[in-house]
């Protein structure tokens, strides 16, 4: 399957983080559309109303009104949304949050990096792996990857047979 533009949604409450993420995505120069929502309710509403579901959702755990974890559970319990890759994008680097996110159905866990260059590298990596799963039809339910600290290597994707 050939993928043109990647359809991306970012759910993040902090305006500075949204701007940084948007700038980083534009700098990577990947054909994409980026929709930004600021709370959990808006994310779920957008997903239910859009005609073109995103290929990838970057989801902050700390969203107002409906937490990122609540949104993740709603996404994974809805047949319409199951094919979307979900990247938890959070300030937390706790093992408990990582395990909870993967158990709830996240494909990627990203601890927000401390600098712009690291964010761009993570975005490139996530896009590369996401495109692999989109074009090769690999099993999204077993696709998991984690970025915890700049000094740590990411956990490699699983589910490749």
The pLDDT, as a whole number, for residue 83 is 78
User: Domain 6-147, what fold?
Assistant: Rossmann fold (3.40.50)
Q: No. of H helices and E strands in the chain? A: 5, 6
pLDDT in tens, 20-52: 999 998 998 788 899 999 999 999 999 999 999
pLDDT in tens, 66-96: 999 999 999 999 999 977 899 999 998 888 9
Over 90: is that where the pLDDT of 18 sits? yes
Which sequence spans correspond to the domains of the chain? 6-147
Cα R_g (the chain), whole angstroms: 14
CA distance 66 to 55: 22
pLDDT in tens, 99-145: 999 999 998 999 999 899 999 999 988 888 776 665 554 444 444 55
The pLDDT, as a whole number, for residue 31 is 84
CA 10 to chain centroid, in Å, comes to 7
Considering the chain, what percentage of its residues have pLDDT values greater than 70? Answer: 79
Considering the chain, what percentage of its residues have pLDDT values greater than 90? Answer: 57
The pLDDT, as a whole number, for residue 75 is 96
pTM comes to 0.82
DSSP string, 10-49: EE-S-HHHHHHHHHHHHHHT--EEEEEESSHHHHHHHHHH
Q: In which band, very low, low, confident or very high, does the pLDDT at 1 lie, cut at 50, 70 and 90? A: very low
Cβ atoms of 32 and 58 within 8 Å: the answer is: no
């Amino acid at each position: 399957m050939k993928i043109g533009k990647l359809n991306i949604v970012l759910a993040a409450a902090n305006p500075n983080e949204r701007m940084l993420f948007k700038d980083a995505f534009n700098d990577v120069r990947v054909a994409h559309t980026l929709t930004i929502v600021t709370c959990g309710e808006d994310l779920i509403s957008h997903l239910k109303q859009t005609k073109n579901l995103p290929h990838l959702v970057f989801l902050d755990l700390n969203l107002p009104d409906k937490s990122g974890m609540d949104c993740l559970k709603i996404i994974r319990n809805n047949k319409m949304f199951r094919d979307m890759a979900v990247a938890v994008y959070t300030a937390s680097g706790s093992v408990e949050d990582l395990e909870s996110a993967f158990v709830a159905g996240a494909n990627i866990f990203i601890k927000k990096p401390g600098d712009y260059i690291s964010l761009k590298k993570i975005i490139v990596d996530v896009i590369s792996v996401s495109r692999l799963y989109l074009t090769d039809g690999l099993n999204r339910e077993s696709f998991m990857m984690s970025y915890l600290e700049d000094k740590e290597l990411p956990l490699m994707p699983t589910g490749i047979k």
